[in-house]
Amino acid sequence: MAENYDLTVIGGGPGGYVAAIRAAQLGLNVCLVEKEKLGGVCLNWGCIPTKALLESAHLLESIRKSETFGLKVEKVSPDFPNIIKRSRGVADTMSNGVEFLMKKNKISVKKGSAVFKDKNTIWLPDTSKEEIQSEYFIIATGARPKEFPGLPFDGDKVLSSKHAMIQDSPPKTLAIIGAGAIGIEFADFYSSMGTKVTIVEMQDKILPLEDPEISNLLNRSFIKREIQILTSVGVSEPKLESDGVSILLKGEGIAPEGERKKFDKVLVAIGVTPNTEDIHLEEIGVFLQKGFIKVDTKFRSKVPNIYAIGDCIGAPLLAHVASTEGVKAAEAISIQNKNPHGLVYEPLDYLKIPACTYCHPEVASVGLKEEEAKKSGIDVVVGKFPFRANGRAQALGEVEGMVKLVADRKTGEVLGAHLIGPNVTEILGEINLGMGSELTLKEIAGRIHAHPTLSESVMEAAGQALGEAINI
């Protein structure tokens, strides 16, 4: 006999488990189906373990610069297996935390892959074979790394992001195809481990979605670290060889016939493929576009009782976006289900989504880029403040980078922020909160910031836009 629930969430990643918790808070009887470990890619094979790897890399780089702080360290080298082991331990801790949250919120967790039988019924063919009936469903099945044509992932010479975080040892040479956040973070990590890294990007800059000034500053920083960067360059004719992988490079700065280069390993970081096949979605009327589920502003699919969130509905492919979408979807279902809590639904504002890349120096942004604001017809004013002029940055020995604010000249409202430098992924929260409250440059510049702090650079950038900067 099938079990019955008010809501069943398919997928236990940062979108799914958050949706399940919010729905339980709203009084719904909730089931969550997950085929692997709770926490999804983010907690187990993405955001969390990669940050643990990068912390090891950044600490290693700091120790290498110890003499600039008056410290003498005879010798330091990475213990690669234990760096990997630590990152896996951090991931396990976070996944176990999600298990606790499921129990705390009385959410029934089922192990397996869900397949729809009809719009109100799924079954788990690969595990218990049981059927689950539900009034509503939220699909949060996420996505997986996309393969490069002719380079299927093998975990040995051709790596996905998952493979890259569990290697036995760092390769001598590594090509990274794709210079988005994932490619950039692994370039940072493996370069610190002693690997000769080459980044290949088809577009004209690394971190293509970031402000050009920020991308250029990171490009300059990586070149100083002897990371080779090839932009406006494509990859073709890959060949697996006994001792590595060779690829043909064609594009800017390369002879017309191209240049074939060989690497020990290749990491492919060119995007994702949604996990929507084999669930029988189209059979029950859910509309897919290139594999991604099409939803409305309330995350409802073409089938009114079936919702979808996170990477399986498309960009922006960010864990915190999936979590927010999960909350929104759960609340939309509660509203649709007689709205016992008197909720008022507010659509998610995708123009104010923070994005962070945890390389060294860090990169963070939210809102409109300068050119985007100008193209929309806004009279723009820009304020910039370099970390080189910030006292805390000097004390830290981390002076690369800047804070850049983009604002409406007429109203002073901040429309976007673009940062590169020490701890900017933490500083961004202040700006995002201010943008959500429609704070102006004058209000930010006039707000006292503790001294010396890195966040003073936000105040100074606002002042610079007004012609009132003190320390530059």
* 465 assigned to a ligand binding site: no
Spell out the residues 6+ positions from residue 253 whose beta carbon is closer than 8 angstroms to its own. 230, 233
For the annotated catalytic residues, the residue numbers are 451
Over 154-192, what HEC string results?
CCCCEECHHHHCCCCCCCCEEEEECCCHHHHHHHHHHHH
pLDDT-based confidence at 27, cuts 50/70/90? Answer: very high
pLDDT of residue 7: 98
Predicted confidence (pLDDT) per residue in 381-397, tens digit: 999 999 999 999 999 99
* 227 assigned to a ligand binding site: no
Question: Cis before residue 452, ω within 30 degrees of 0?
Answer: yes
pLDDT-based confidence at 329, cuts 50/70/90? Answer: very high
For the entire predicted model, the pTM comes to 0.95
Distance CA(115)–CA(129), nearest Å, equals 10
Predicted confidence (pLDDT) per residue in 289-328, tens digit: 999 999 999 999 999 999 999 999 999 999 999 999 999 9
* 311 assigned to a ligand binding site: yes
Predicted confidence (pLDDT) per residue in 338-347, tens digit: 999 999 999 9
Distance CA(111)–CA(149), nearest Å, equals 33
Pairwise pLDDT comparison (465 vs 252), residue with the higher score: 465
pLDDT of residue 253: 86
Predicted confidence (pLDDT) per residue in 443-469, tens digit: 999 999 999 999 999 999 999 999 998
Average pLDDT over residues 23-34: 98
- What percentage of the chain has pLDDT greater than the value 70? 100
Average pLDDT over residues 212-233: 98
Distance CA(386)–CA(404), nearest Å, equals 9
* 51 assigned to a ligand binding site: yes
pLDDT-based confidence at 255, cuts 50/70/90? Answer: confident
pLDDT of residue 2: 80
- For residues 24 and 106, is the Cβ–Cβ distance under 8 A? yes
* 181 assigned to a ligand binding site: yes
- For residues 185 and 58, is the Cβ–Cβ distance under 8 A? no
Domains along the chain with CATH numbers? 3-144+273-336 (3.50.50.60), 158-270 (3.50.50.60), 361-466 (3.30.390.30)
Residue 135, classed as helix, strand or coil, is strand
Does 214 score more than 90 pLDDT?
Answer: yes
* 183 assigned to a ligand binding site: yes
Mean pLDDT of the chain: 96
Spell out the residues 6+ positions from residue 431 whose beta carbon is closer than 8 angstroms to its own. 366, 405, 414, 417, 458
